Amino acid sequence: MKPILPTLKENPRYILFKIKSSSKFTKSDAEKHIMFDCKRFLGELGIGKAGLKFMSFDKKYQLGVIRTNSKYLNETKAALTLIKKLCSKNAKVDVLKVSGMLNKLHIETFKKT
């Protein structure tokens, strides 16, 4: 069986986001509630097409990374910005940076702010 040509592969995009809230969230709480709210906006079919995957989360700085398909980047960013509550607490999710490579997000520079 022949491998898939590089031009036919889906291109992932990595979204760096920050949760702005007075309370801190654990990785499991953030993942569960962010994916639930994205599913509420995009629907199950949209989640499948976008290929959303929660990659990492830093509890101390409330920074996280989500992987999505490049074709559904705008829809994913819209779903993240529409989040108003996490764990029934007021919270805002800001998209800080989007990159095609995980290494180029430079998360350390955003930890300082």
Mean of the per-residue pLDDT values of the chain: 90
| Confidence grade of residue 113 (pLDDT, cut at 50, 70, 90) | low
Task: Provide the Cα torsion 23, 20, 14, 33; round to 10°.
Answer: 50
| Confidence grade of residue 110 (pLDDT, cut at 50, 70, 90) | confident
**Rg (the chain; Cα; Å):** 15
Query: Domains in the chain and their CATH numbers?
Result: 13-111 (3.30.70.3250)
Of 108 and 47, the one with more pLDDT: 47
Query: Span 33-40, mean pLDDT?
Result: 93
Q: Which of 69, 71, 92 is nearest to 80 (CA)?
A: 92
Q: What is the pLDDT of residue 2?
A: 86
Is it the case that residue 75 has pLDDT exceeding 80? yes
Query: Span 62-86, mean pLDDT?
Result: 93
Q: What is the pLDDT of residue 107?
A: 76
Q: Which of 59, 61, 58, 71 is nearest to 13 (CA)?
A: 71
Tell me, what DSSP letter sits at residue 22?
S
* Contact predicate 78/41, CB 8 Å: yes
Is it the case that residue 73 has pLDDT exceeding 80? yes
Q: What is the pLDDT of residue 36?
A: 93
